Amino acid sequence: MSLLAKFQAQLPTAAKRLLIAFSGGLDSTALLALCYQLRCQRPAITLRAIHIHHGLSSNADAWTQHCQELCQQWQIPLIIERLALATTGNIEATARDARYRAIKQHWQSDELLLTAHHLQDQSETFLLALKRGSGILGLSAMQTQNTLYGMPLCRPLLAFSRSELEHFILSEKLHWIEDESNQDSSYERNFLRNEILPQLRQRWRHIDQAISRSAKHCLESQLLIEELLEEDFHRHCPAQANVFHLNAFKTYSIARQRALLRLWLSRLGQSMPGQKQLDALLENVINAQKDSNPQWQLGELIVRRYQNNLYLTPQFTDLCNYSAELNIGHSLELPDNLGLLESHKQQDGILFRWGSQQLLLPLTRQAIFIRFGHPGRLRYQPNRPRETFKKLCQAAAIPPWQRGRLPQIYYGETLQGILGLCQAFE
C-alpha cells in the first residue's frame, strides 16, 4: 500500500472539507503534502491551512513566510493567527490551549481539523500520562478521531513513524523548518523525546509500536466501561449535557461514582481530573450539607451543586456595578456573554426580549436602564405583599449563580421587571 493510500484510509470517508494545522515542521509539512496529493486525486476536497505564530521564537516570522510560500505554491488558502503568550508558568500547556482556541475561531462547522501527530508523539503522550498517574482513559493517549474544543479532529498520521514521514518529505524534495525549542529538554515532552525514548528504542526496537498497542488496549477497556455505564449515565444526564442529576447517586460504590463523573466530564470535553480531585468533588460538593450550594473549580470552569443536581458552568463576572441605557426600539449587547437584549415599541407597551424570555412593560418617557444584582424585596403581582428576590428565584428554580445575571429593567431609578423572572409593581 502506498503512503498516500495508507493516509487516505485513516480519513473519514465523508470528509470533504479539511482544515490543516500547519506549523511548517517536518510532520505538518508531510500532512500538508499528503492532503495536496489527495486533492489532486479527489478535486471535490476543499483544503485550508492554519498557521499559529506563537511569538516565542525570533525565527517565528521566517517560519510564517515559509508556510505562506508553500501554501501559495499548492494554492491552499492559509490563515495566519498571531498569539501573545505569557512566558511564565507551564508554557507547553498555555501554548497548546491558546493554539486550539485560536484554531476554533477560524474553524467552520463542516470542516474536519487535521493535526500531524505521529507514532512517536503517541509514545510521548502515553508516557506523560503514565507520569501523571492517569487511569485507562489518559493512558489511551491520542485517538485517530475524536472531538477537541468542540471541533471534530483527525490525526491521520498516528500510525506513521517519523522516519516514514521524513523519507516521504525527502523523496518529494520538500523543506521544513526546525523549531530550536524542540532541543530544550527542560520541557517535559522534549525530555522524553531527546533523553528517554532514544534509549528505550535502542534497547527495544519496537517500543513505539508496543506503546501504541497498549494505548489501544486502554481505549478498548475505556469504551467497554462507558458501554456498561451507558444506562446509568443516561439516568443521571437525560437531557442537558452540563447538568448531572444526583438521584440515587450515593447508593453506588465509590469506583462507580468516580467512573460516572469521569464519563460526564469526558462527554463535556473536559480534561480528566485526578483521583484526589475527584475525591474532593465527592466530599466537598456532592456530599456537602443539603442546604448549602457548594462549588468546585475545574480548570477555568466551576462544578456547582443546586437542588440535587451538578452543573458545569464558566466562572462568571460580577455584574453588580453594570448599568447601561437602552433606547426604545434598539438592542443592547449584554456583558459576560449574556447575549442580546431587544426592545420593541408596541401599541400597549414595550416588549423586551432576551433569548426565549420576554416581558411586556408599560410605555414610558423616562430613561430605561439595564442593571444586574439582587434587588431585595419586590412585588411581583398588584395588591400582593412584597417577596424577597431570593424567594422568588427559589420558587422559579433559578440557581443562585444565575440570579445576579438576570437583566433588570429600570425606568429611571424604579425597577419595572426582571427578564426570566417577573414584572415588578409599586
Conformation bin of residue 149: beta by default, left when phi > 0, alpha when psi is -120 to 50: left
| Residue 340 grid cell | 442580546
Q: Are strands 112-114 and 408-411 parallel, antiparallel or unpaired?
A: unpaired
Question: Could you give phi then psi for residue 227, rounded to 5 degrees?
Answer: -65, -45
Closest CA to 37 of 67, 9, 7: 7
CA-wise closest residue to 51 among 191, 179, 194, 170: 179
109 is in an annotated binding site: no
CB 196 within 8 A of CB 202: no
CA dihedral sign of residues 302, 141, 246, 422:
positive
Burial class of 321 by CB neighbour count within 10 A (0 to 12, 13 to 18, 19+): exposed
414-418 and 408-411: which strand pairing? Answer: antiparallel
Range list of H helices, 197-310: 197-203, 207-236, 254-267, 275-281
Q: In whole angstroms, give the CA distance from residue 139 to residue 148.
A: 17
Angstrom distance (rounded) from CA 303 to CA 283:
13
Is 55 part of any known ligand binding site? no
299 is in an annotated binding site: no
DSSP character at residue 252? S
Tell me if 291 is assigned to a ligand binding site: no
Instruction: Please answer whether residues 408 and 372 qualify as being in contact, where contact means their C-beta atoms are separated by less than 8 angstroms.
Output: yes
Tell me whether residue 373 is annotated as binding. Answer: no
Task: Measure the CA–CA gap between 133 and 159, rounded to whole angstroms.
Answer: 25
> Per-residue DSSP letters for 382-394?
TTS--EEHHHHHH
| 266 has binding-site annotation | no
Binding residues: 23-28
Binding residues for ATP: 23-28
